[in-house]
């Protein structure tokens, strides 16, 4: 189905964001094994949530006119949310910066918020998870397989 060409975007910032991530990795991450800090995990979570929003917009506009492409974008969006969910869990498993102590197992199991500024990652995660639950079924979010072989 032919569609009218899209207007050129005002500026394409995605390549700059990609270059910034590559530069960040090259400059800030040592070759030696070292655990990611809570700040780094929080920032990566924010980045994935923003990328989820971008893919969500592309999926919403693409799926009605290009079904197969929309399915692939939808599967990508699901996997990206799963990655953000794992980053959120990693944030809460990481040692506290001021004490270096790991969170207590009881606090992790109870999923108790840790207060500001650590709560911002939870607020961002909960706000996005509400949108994710509207757009995807629990089976979609837990499936180990994307189902893309149907195309």
Torsion, Cα of 18, 118, 103, 132 (10° steps): -60
Q: pTM for the complete prediction?
A: 0.78
Q: Please indicate, yes or no, if residue 103 is contained in any of the structural domains.
A: yes
For residue range 5-53, list pLDDT tens digits in order. Answer: 766 655 688 888 888 888 988 898 888 888 888 889 999 999 999 999 9
Q: What is the number of structural domains in the chain?
A: 1
* Spatial contact of 88 and 121, defined as CB atoms under 8 Å apart: yes
Q: Please indicate, yes or no, if residue 13 is contained in any of the structural domains.
A: no
Residue-number span of the structural domain to which 115 is assigned: 36-135
For residue range 84-112, list pLDDT tens digits in order. Answer: 999 988 988 888 777 777 766 666 555 55
- Report how far Cα 2 is from the mean position of its chain's Cα atoms: 32
Q: Please indicate, yes or no, if residue 149 is contained in any of the structural domains.
A: no
DSSP 15-64: HHHHHHHHHHHHHH--SS--PPPHHHHHHHHHHHHHHHHHHHHHHHHHTT
No. of helices (H) and no. of strands (E), the chain: 6, 0
Q: Please indicate, yes or no, if residue 57 is contained in any of the structural domains.
A: yes
Q: Please indicate, yes or no, if residue 30 is contained in any of the structural domains.
A: no
Q: Please indicate, yes or no, if residue 85 is contained in any of the structural domains.
A: yes
């Amino acid at each position: 189905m032919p569609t009218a060409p899209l207007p050129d975007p005002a500026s394409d910032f995605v390549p700059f964001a990609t270059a910034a991530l590559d530069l960040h990795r090259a400059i800030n991450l040592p070759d030696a094994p070292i655990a990611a800090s809570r700040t780094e995990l929080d920032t990566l979570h924010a980045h994935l949530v923003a990328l989820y929003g971008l893919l969500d917009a592309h999926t919403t506009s693409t799926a009605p006119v290009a079904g197969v492409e929309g399915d692939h974008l939808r599967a990508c969006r699901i996997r990206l949310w799963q990655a953000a969910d794992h980053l959120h869990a990693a944030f809460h498993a990481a040692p506290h910066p001021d004490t270096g102590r790991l969170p207590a197992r009881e606090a992790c199991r109870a999923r108790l918020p840790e207060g500001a500024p650590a709560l911002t990652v939870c607020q961002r995660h909960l706000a996005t998870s509400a949108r994710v639950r509207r757009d995807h079924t629990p089976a979609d979010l837990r499936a180990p397989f994307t189902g893309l072989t149907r195309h």
